[in-house]
Amino acid sequence: MLSEPRDAVEALYREVVLDHYRHPRHRVPLQEPDATATVDNPVCGDQVRVQVRLTGGTVEEVAAQTRGCSIAVAAGSVMTELVTGRAVDEIPRLRGALERIVEGENLSPDLDRRLRAFAGVARFPMRRRCALLPWEALEAALLSND
């Protein structure tokens, strides 16, 4: 288990989350996606549209267009980086790790630092769904492709 000092969590947040918010990756809509889903968070107004192109059981390409707070935009950007090139069956493990992080659980030090950057969200229960919304949209898109 890993318990990072609050200063380290805040530094990681500034480095990763704010960078992904200011410079989101994979926002350009895909041409001819295999699946698309849009998910809203009516509590805070965030909206995420995810498009996926699959090859076999692998995410070949993914795009996330997110409107909303810095956490939702950054989470969508990080998600696109983490799942591109991965097998679809690996995605629940990544989402589960993020869920545990935003709930305040300590995780192993080998967990991707881009996910660990969301540890500070645990202090703000109303913001937890903001971090998970892109993953909900991805899951909905993948389910619609079955």
Write the CATH number for 79.
3.90.1010.10
pLDDT band at 18 (very low <50, low <70, confident <90, very high): confident
Residue 93: CB atoms within 10 A of its CB come to 9
Residue 98 has pLDDT above 90, yes or no: yes
pLDDT digits (tens, 9 = 90+) for 111-140: 899 999 999 899 899 999 999 999 999 999
Cα separation of 70 and 84, whole Å? Answer: 21
Domain annotation covers residue 1: no
The average pLDDT across 78-102 equals: 96
Number of domains observed in the structure of the chain: 1
Domain annotation covers residue 42: yes
Question: The whole model's pTM is what?
Answer: 0.90
Residue 95 has pLDDT above 60, yes or no: yes
| Residue 96, amino acid | G
Facing residues of 63 across strands?
51
Domain annotation covers residue 26: yes
Which range marks the domain in which residue 125 is found? 6-144
**What pLDDT does residue 5 have?**
64
**What pLDDT does residue 78 have?**
97
